[in-house]
Amino acid sequence: MSDTLSGRRVAFVAAPEGTEQVELTEPWKAVQEAGGQPELVSIKPGTIQGFNHLDKGDTFPVDKVVTEVSSDDYDALVLPGGVANPDLLRTDQNVVRFVGEFFAKGKPVAAICHAPWTLIEADVVRGRRMTSWPSLQTDLRNAGAEWVDEEVVVDSGFVTSRKPGDLPAFCDKMVEEIGEGVHRAQSRSSA
């Protein structure tokens, strides 16, 4: 166990259902192993239902409801994927606001798979080089991003990956960027 993220609080935002379980659990474990403190933030209190593709997985306890928190409470943000998860999150204005705050303050953000749908709604992808699940590439390009098909992409503290198979690289870069802290250039896409 390292102490790279000692004292760092990391918000993991997930909808009540539809989160790709491994895209929550592997980054969560990486934050913990680096000495950080992950917290699950959702739209409602209680638990969220994880999924293994289309099959129900485990449930996870919600630490905070998005209306109770601010980006000031955290050092970084992680957005797991799953098709339904970001589709639900992007319809909640409190989530959209919360996500946008991280970019405005230059705090590290990591998003995998379908999670960038929420980022499009927060209008923070314009001018960013990033990746995602391939079916989002047109949406991301239309929102002003430079979409590339790569395992992991880092753009001024902003980390993206395509799929569960990219998790080892995603987790490594995510921990590295969170460890570096605020990236002033991060706020350029949130204006």
* Active-site amino acid positions: 114
Tell me the backbone φ, ψ of residue 17, rounded to 5 degrees: -150, 160
Amino acid in position 159 = V
Contact present, 113 and 152 (Cβ < 8 Å): no
User: Which residues does 153 contact at the CB level (< 8 Å), separation at least 6?
Assistant: 129, 130, 131, 159, 160, 161
DSSP state of 15: -
